[in-house]
Amino acid sequence: MKRLILANLLFCLLLVGLSLPAAAESLSLHISGVDDEELSNVLYAVLQLPEGIVEDGQLNQLWLERYRRQLAGRVSKTLQPYGYFNSAVQDQLITDDDGSQQLLLTIDPGPPLRVTKRKITIAGEQISSSLKNRIISAYPLSVGQVLRQDLHDEGKAHLKESFISGGYLDAHFSRSQILVSVTDKTAEIFLDLVPGRKYVFGETSFSGYGDYPVKYMKRYLAYQPGEDFSQEKLSRTHLNYVDSELFDRVVVEPRRDQAVDRQVPIDVSVEPAPRHRLRPGIGYGTDTGARVSLDYRNLNLFRLGHELQGNLLLAERKQAVTNTYVIPHLKRLDTRTLVSAGWTREETDSYLTRETSAEVEYQRMLSSRFSTSFFLRFSQEYSEIADQETTAQMLLPGVRLTWRYLNDSVLPSRGAQLKLQLLAGDRELLSDTSLAQILANVSVLQPLPFESQLFVRLKSGATYFDDPFSEVPASLRFFAGGDQSVRGYGYQSLGPTDSDGEVIGGRNMLVYNLEFEKKVTDNWGLALFYDAGNAFNSFENYELKQGAGIGVRRYTRIGAIRLDLARQMATADVKYRLHFSVGFGW
């Protein structure tokens, strides 16, 4: 009886064992003995386990043994470009309690080969010794350093490219040699560069430019025929065409094979963008209220490369239509003339104004960051300020100066800007009142540790005149308050008041802003701010209104969306106000 029971028990255990799945096997790779993180990453990439070595939970032993036999050769081949020619590898296969296996590789790179001699020569008496020494000094390997093939290749490429980009298109190495002694663990580097003759720019041919005049196409060239050939000028030319936003495709190609007497012809092939562009927009801002806009551009008016810009804005507090005719300078890419005409209506808590204007402006860049413009503006403006109506005709010549640096035009983290505008009008020259006005704006954006930044802005203006203040239209009076001014107060709600307490604007204005912003995630940030400012009539006697608060920032491709909660300060009747805006307020 006992034998029968024991037999049945063994039979049941056998059935249970057959019903259980076999333990799945796994294999992982571990490397030790290499301290350099970059080299360790390279080894992991090169020595990765073959795909399919574990399949259906089973380890392929044949593949594993074949892989282990290849390890020494693969490691040696990998380490040699890094200067290690005497490497050794030990491998060990360990099985854990759960059945998984680890392949442990202990790598001894051995002593590296070091550079014991470096001789770099550049032929050509026409090249100054200082230039040769400067280019040679950029070669990354020097005596005493570990021989690295990647750095050597980069250095060689830089040496040759330095001359090719400077017009020496035939530059080549007459000798490029590394003498290696594995026994002595030494390496000697010999490089002899022959620059050859210097080339110049030849004529430029254009294709695919459509209705644009050839003279207009030439204005984007960063070089002139006969100038020394330069890859930098070619790149600048390509960028000029791209930045114009007039072409969907741009190819700037030197024809080295067609060079005659060292003159390299250049081919410029473009594909014009659609001539007509229409861009609608919709949005909301605390200062303007809900708004819709429509922007139109004709990129090639009269087939002269001239541009027509039309802008329509319909907002709760402001409506405007403006047309601008842009005449580019045919020889200077940084110069243009603008002729504009428009109509504007704006209604705030302080005033109502309707203005019809025309302006001619000449713009010119004096440097990559400094621009200037001279303008002549004629306007007829009707204003209602408090209970007073004003009609004024003004002819205002003036100048605008701007210096600006931004590390990013959409979401900057560092930058500075200085803007200065001067204008004047005279009764003897088609103006109803004589005045002179200056407006200055200084802004600084400074990055701080921990993905934060500090924004500081100072804005000031002053008006000088002897005529009655009532004759000055609303557009030439100063007001303060709003999203880009003193937060906590309504748009254009601050300034001197009349006997009834209604704001009528002032001769002068002073506003400054301090804002600390901390990035919380890639798309969100928080801000703390303090604003102070006002409009007033005398710099000897004025009061600055204050506001402070917190804000939330949402970073997008069109700029930061800004929502601020501001509290009025230093006032008996404290009020809170929400401010909403898009973009960076320079």
What are the tens digits of pLDDT across the range 524-575? 999 999 999 999 999 999 999 999 999 999 999 888 899 999 999 999 889 9
How much of the chain exceeds pLDDT 90, in percent? 75
Of the candidates 334, 342, 424, 325, the residue with the CA atom closest to the CA atom of residue 380: 342
Q: Are 400 and 394 in contact (CB under 8 A)?
A: no
Residue 417 to residues 23, 250, 407, 531, Cα–Cα distance (Å) = 69, 32, 12, 19
Residue 565 to residues 135, 266, 458, 483, 551, Cα–Cα distance (Å) = 56, 57, 21, 11, 6
pLDDT band per the 50, 70, 90 thresholds, residue 585? low
Alpha helix stretches (DSSP H) within 49-122? 61-79
Spatial distance between the Cα atoms of 323 and 321, rounded to a whole number of angstroms: 7
Spatial distance between the Cα atoms of 282 and 54, rounded to a whole number of angstroms: 58
Residue 177 bridge partners (DSSP): 190
pLDDT band per the 50, 70, 90 thresholds, residue 25? low
Spatial distance between the Cα atoms of 338 and 449, rounded to a whole number of angstroms: 43
Q: Which carries the bigger pLDDT value, residue 125 or residue 328?
A: 328
Could you read off the pLDDT of 213-253 as tens digits, one per residue? 999 999 999 999 999 999 999 999 999 999 999 999 999 99
Mean pLDDT calculated for residue range 56-72: 83
pLDDT at 363: 98
pLDDT at 474: 96
Residue 114 bridge partners (DSSP): 146, 186
pLDDT band per the 50, 70, 90 thresholds, residue 8? very low
Could you read off the pLDDT of 534-545 as tens digits, one per residue? 999 999 999 999
Mean pLDDT calculated for residue range 428-452: 96
Spatial distance between the Cα atoms of 471 and 151, rounded to a whole number of angstroms: 73
Phi, psi dihedral angles at 379 (to 5 degrees):
-145, 150
pLDDT band per the 50, 70, 90 thresholds, residue 21? very low
Task: Label the pairing between strands 200-207 and 263-272.
Answer: parallel
Q: Please state, as a whole number, how many other Cβ atoms lie within 10 Å of the Cβ of residue 475.
A: 17
Q: Would you mind telling me the total number of residues written for the chain in this entry?
A: 586
pLDDT at 44: 78
Spatial distance between the Cα atoms of 551 and 565, rounded to a whole number of angstroms: 6
Element of type H or E holding 243: helix 231-243
Mean pLDDT calculated for residue range 320-327: 98
Question: Which residue is associated with the tokens 């303007």?
Answer: 288
pLDDT band per the 50, 70, 90 thresholds, residue 586? low
Report whether pLDDT(578) > 60.
yes
Helix and strand element counts for the chain (H, E): 7, 27
Mean pLDDT calculated for residue range 81-88: 91
Report residue 225 CA to chain centroid gap.
Answer: 32
Spatial distance between the Cα atoms of 102 and 29, rounded to a whole number of angstroms: 6
pTM: 0.76
Report the Cα–Cα distance between both ends of the chain, in Å, rounded.
99
Spatial distance between the Cα atoms of 27 and 574, rounded to a whole number of angstroms: 70
Structure tokens at 421: 């505008």
